[in-house]
Structure 1
Amino acid sequence: MIDFRSDTVTKPCKTMLQTMVEAEVGDDVYGDDPTVNQLEQFAAQRHGFEASVFVSSGTQANLLAILAHCERGDEYLCGQSAHNYRYEAGGAAVLGSVQPQPVENEPDGSLDLQKLAAYIKPDDFHFARTKLLSLENTIGGKVLSLDYLAQARAFCDQHKLQLHLDGARVYNAAVALEVDIRAIAQHFDSMTICLSKGLGAPIGSLLLGSKALISKARRLRKMLGGGMRQAGILAAAGMYALENNVERLREDHDNARYLAERLNELPGFDTSAYPVQTNLVYVDVANQVDIHKVAKDLIEQGIQITPGYQGMRLVTHLGVSHADIDRLIQALKSR
């Protein structure tokens, strides 16, 4: 099955699987899993943070970050399109009594800092206390520039806010910008990294921050039922992903651009409103195309997509090759 739905569908390669089988393990809740400890120490050092914690998912990593930065009755600023606002079941509000204050994202995915300033609450007991700004990079496949990140850091320093990055696809951003990951990470008080998207691990994310923040996050992880035991089997996959699967993200970006070009050959498909920067391709599908029927027909040919009309998303990843894209286009042409 060729799967264009998301880069979350990636599967471990044989070498990664063998690394998992051979992983030395222990009880991570006791701090005894050497492979988890190795991953957390490596990740903290690699990205320029004091500490990190390995967790089961990006949603949990973002939730731990927000709850570690904020107390009950506090507020965090974020984009209307932010994953931790729109797609994480309202966890910060439900589980932490932390109020999100969303602001409309700009066309390039950034947040207007002047607009953000107007949403910071006065120091008055009538209001929630604004404590945190959360950004996302990439967001909708768009890359936030290094200049913008520096401006956001200065903004947070000026307004005494903490700055968090939802970095689910932050390595896609670093590869697109052709910079070391630290050039992005240096601006943030905390950052998440999803290991199970383009990096190709089967499970897991990292939260990085100060020792104090990560210590608090560990307690919260336990409270949420996120304490894992012999988790080194999963951490080994994460280590392999960070050490071996970063540079190959360029191939995903190249394939995404190729996919967009080929889609534009088809009547009723148009990607021109969505310049491709990384591995996410968005396409407008004309109403006369029954895209839901097309999707069902594609499944019978071994191809999966998520059907839609305005801004339908297709994703390239290590499970999608140049030839797979040609196969999709041919299937769409012959519908």
Structure 2
Amino acid sequence: MTADLVDLRSDTVTRPTPAMRRAMATAEVGDDLFGEDPTVRALEERLAGVFGFGGGLFTPSGVMANQIALRLLLDPGQELVCDSEAHVLAHEEGSPARYGGIQTRTVTGRRGLLTVPALERVLRPGNAYTIGTRAVALEQTHTRAGGTVYPVAALRAIRRLTAGAGIAVHVDGARIWNAHAATGVPLGEYGAPVADTLAVCLSKGLGAPVGSVLLTSAELLPRARSLRHGLGGGMRQSGILAAAGLHALDHHLDRIAHDHDHAALLAGVLRDAGCAVRPRETNIVLVDTPDAGAVVRRAAEEGVLVTAPGPRLVRLVTHLGVGRRDCRRAAGVLAALMGAAVPVPNEESEAA
């Protein structure tokens, strides 16, 4: 990322910090397929303890972690219920059906969040003639809805409903760190008390270069390892990568609140400029505009990178690679493109 470029396309564009690179370079390693990489084991055990699960599995990507989880919970031909804009459907290449033979059924949640009444209307017990629901997938935070947070009370209510019906729950917790930062809810309350499986990402809010961890029961962990190997996710001396995740947990978790502050700054300036900014909760800002593609192109010409998840929707994502001054500059560029531009204060004294 150049000094004059502000990259708000995603929180995946971060680069390892010098301290993170040192942690990676000095990591103790071994062959992970033999279960001999101590740094990988330390990462898996630490996150399993944080979220209250029996075990963890380090994977190359969040997509792989999600898909392994679904195959742990559902057999081919069984039904998964999720939000209609869920990441597991919109951004994972049809993998539930392609690799797991899993049938999906969707519900349109309010800003991506499912409720007990909505689920009660669609969950099916199944019989000899009707397929039954075997799992529900939830997303924390919800990406396509703009980083919305599941309240812990809602998660507990859904857990009670599904447990009573013998239905499992998977939580795609790619940005669960943002939910924790926004609400102050302890991470453990987002884990085993409300889910059978949980996938957490290290390469988004935490800023590691790669990797996710799937959390599950000790009983399911051997099958999870087998599925990872079959999907090509078996790694050898992967402690070099796991060390980045451990460093991020130690040094980057508390700073996520700054990303939320920067997103609030962006949203506020754009709203004051007359832009149609959707409600914001965490580090994702969504703005409705007549021609999102044109905004993306013209902003890039001004050194501001954003994305268009829809033809009339622009997305901005804050992360550890952009500071307050960066966000003010980006807000000025985007306000000029999407609204009645307003003067943006010059804050040369602020740290980037």
TM-score normalized with structure 2 length: 0.89
Deviations 1:37-58 (A, max 9, x none): 1111111112111100000111
Name the structure 2 match of 1:300: 301
Q: Do 2:125 and 2:165's aligned partners in 1 also have CA atoms closer than 8 Å?
A: no
RMSD over aligned CA atoms reads 1.6
Question: How many aligned positions are there?
Answer: 328
Name the structure 1 match of 2:140: 137
Separation in 2, partners of 1:147, 1:4: 32
Separation in 2, partners of 1:304, 1:106: 29
Deviations 1:173-229 (A, max 9, x none): 011111210121121111110100011000000100101122211110011111011
Correspondence 1:56 to 2:63 = no
Q: Do 1:36 and 1:235's aligned partners in 2 also have CA atoms closer than 8 Å?
A: yes
Q: Which segments of 5 or more consecutive residues in structure 2 lack a partner in the other structure?
A: 338-352
Partner-residue secondary structure (3-state), 1:225: coil
Aligned residue type for 2:26: E
Partner-residue secondary structure (3-state), 1:208: strand
Name the structure 1 match of 2:99: 95
Name the structure 2 match of 1:18: 22
Deviation at 1:87, TM superposition (A): 1.3
Correspondence 1:270 to 2:272 = no
Correspondence 1:212 to 2:219 = yes
Aligned residue type for 2:331: I
Name the structure 2 match of 1:324: 326
Q: Do 2:53 and 2:216's aligned partners in 1 also have CA atoms closer than 8 Å?
A: yes
Separation in 1, partners of 2:105, 2:137: 10
Separation in 2, partners of 1:196, 1:311: 24
Q: Do 1:66 and 1:92's aligned partners in 2 also have CA atoms closer than 8 Å?
A: yes
1:177-188 correspondence runs (5 A)? 177-185=183-191, 186-188=193-195
Partner-residue secondary structure (3-state), 1:243: helix
Aligned residue type for 1:264: R
Correspondence 1:200 to 2:207 = yes
Name the structure 2 match of 1:159: 165
Change (3 A) 1:163 1:292: closer
Deviation at 1:334, TM superposition (A): 5.9
Separation in 2, partners of 1:59, 1:188: 18
Partner-residue secondary structure (3-state), 2:180: helix
Separation in 2, partners of 1:77, 1:333: 39
Q: Do 1:133 and 1:161's aligned partners in 2 also have CA atoms closer than 8 Å?
A: yes
- Of residues 107, 124, 132, the one that matches 1:121 is 124
Q: Do 1:131 and 1:162's aligned partners in 2 also have CA atoms closer than 8 Å?
A: yes
Separation in 1, partners of 2:20, 2:305: 25
Name the structure 2 match of 1:81: 85
Aligned residue type for 1:195: L
Identity of counterpart residues, as a percentage?
40
Aligned residue type for 2:327: I
Change (3 A) 1:188 1:310: same
Name the structure 2 match of 1:147: 153
Q: Which stretches of structure 1, 4 residues or more, deviate above 6 A after TM superposition?
A: none
Partner-residue secondary structure (3-state), 2:244: helix
Change (3 A) 1:333 1:117: closer
Correspondence 1:7 to 2:14 = no
Q: Do 1:163 and 1:189's aligned partners in 2 also have CA atoms closer than 8 Å?
A: yes
Correspondence 1:105 to 2:112 = no
Change (3 A) 1:159 1:178: same
Deviation at 1:333, TM superposition (A): 5.5
Deviation at 1:146, TM superposition (A): 1.3
Q: Which segments of 5 or more consecutive residues in structure 1 lack a partner in the other structure?
A: none
Q: Do 2:65 and 2:199's aligned partners in 1 also have CA atoms closer than 8 Å?
A: yes
- Of residues 286, 305, 313, the one that matches 1:282 is 286
Partner-residue secondary structure (3-state), 1:257: helix
Partner-residue secondary structure (3-state), 1:134: strand
Change (3 A) 1:232 1:265: same
Separation in 2, partners of 1:208, 1:333: 42
Partner-residue secondary structure (3-state), 1:131: strand
Name the structure 1 match of 2:343: none
